A = this chain, B = another copy of it.
Amino acid sequence: MPRKCQNEDSILRKIADNARSWRGRAGQSVTLGIGDDAALFRPKPGHETILTCDWFLEGTHFLREKHPPDAVGWKCLARAVSDVAAMGGTPRCFLLSMALPESHTGQWLDLFLCGLGRASRKFRCVLAGGDTTRRNEIFINVTVVGEVRAGSAVLRSGARPGDILYVSGRLGEAELGLRLLKLHREMAASENPAVRKHLYPEPRLAMGQWLVKNRLASAMMDLSDGLSSDLPRLCAASRVGALVEKAKIPQLQITNVAFKHLRDASQLALHGGDDYELLFAVPPREVRRLPKTFKGVRLTAIGKITLGRELLVLIESGDTMQLVPRGWDPFRKKL
Cβ–Cβ contact B53 & A130, under 8 A: yes
CB distance from A157 to the nearest CB of B (A): 7
Kindly report how many copies of this chain are found in the complex they form together. Answer: 2
Q: Are A5 and B84 interface neighbours, CB within 8 A?
A: no
Task: Give the residue of B6, B131, B153 whose beta carbon is less than 8 angstroms from that of A32.
Answer: B153
A37, A41, A135, A327: which has the most chain B beta carbons within 10 Å? A37
A4 at the interface (CB under 8 A from B): yes
Q: A48-B40, A327-B4 are in contact. Are A237 and B273 (CB under 8 A)?
A: no
> Which of B4, B39, B146 sits near A38, CB closer than 8 Å?
B146
A49 / chain B contacts, CB cutoff of 8 Å: 40-43, 49, 145
Complex-state Cα separation, A43 to B54, whole angstroms: 22
Chain A residues with a Cβ under 8 A of chain B: 1-6, 31-32, 35-43, 45, 47-55, 57, 60-61, 79, 82-84, 86-87, 89, 93, 95, 97, 99, 128-131, 133-135, 139, 141, 143-146, 148, 150, 153, 155-157, 221-222, 224-225, 237, 273, 325, 327, 329, 332
Q: Can you name 8 A-B residue pairings with CB atoms under 8 Å?
A: A3-B55, A37-B84, A38-B87, A39-B50, A40-B87, A42-B150, A55-B131, A60-B99
